[in-house]
Structure 1
Amino acid sequence: MLKKKQKKELKNFDTDLAKFVPQDLINQAKTEAQKEIFKLKLAELRQNQGIKQTDVDGFSQVSVSRIESRSDIKISTLIDYVHACGFDVEIKAVPRRNKKKEEFVLLKA
């Protein structure tokens, strides 16, 4: 008689990872991942507008390249860059643990 195969229960990746990796390393990896995503989104923002690096008003191609490869940027530079790409900036504060998900707008530019 064949044994019934037991189904493996799929669990949350974060939960499974926490069993093997210290939480501080997980948090550090998430922070680094967010920085990389931010860089990609800046370039994507410009590209979706059909703007070449050489055509961003007020910025040289070298400056645009540096901005898009930085993981940390001054808010004033971000605002200028986003404006040059034809967008506005809105920075919000969102509670981490509050289920209401109230958002507080900190900056509209």
Structure 2
Amino acid sequence: METHGFQVKGAIDAETRCKHYYSEADRVAIKFFCCNSYYPCYQCHREYGCGQTALWPREKFDEKAILCGNCGAELTIDNYFEAESACPLCRASFNPGCKLHKHLYFSS
């Protein structure tokens, strides 16, 4: 699905929700390091992705890899971690539970 001019594989609505995570606050897509493509979650990447897994290295946390499904802002990984579960531009809430899965996307 295309949202805010970006292709988000596995998304089921314009705010990047998917069949796995679809609460009001589930409006973030993550660009996977291994394939440079946006997915709403690790399960969508597993289902529709490149078949590989690669974590974002810490030294690349200044690159844009997070998409706000509400306003379409691309955030750096550092911006996302600093955002306190809301988009720093439009203030739309993000699911705070996503932080439980950060080890699936990002190196520590």
Q: Which bin holds the TM-score, normalised by the shorter protein?
A: under 0.3
Structure number with larger C-alpha Rg: 1
> As a proportion of its length, which structure holds more helix?
1
Q: Give TM-score, length-normalised by structure 1.
A: 0.24
Q: Give TM-score, length-normalised by structure 2.
A: 0.24
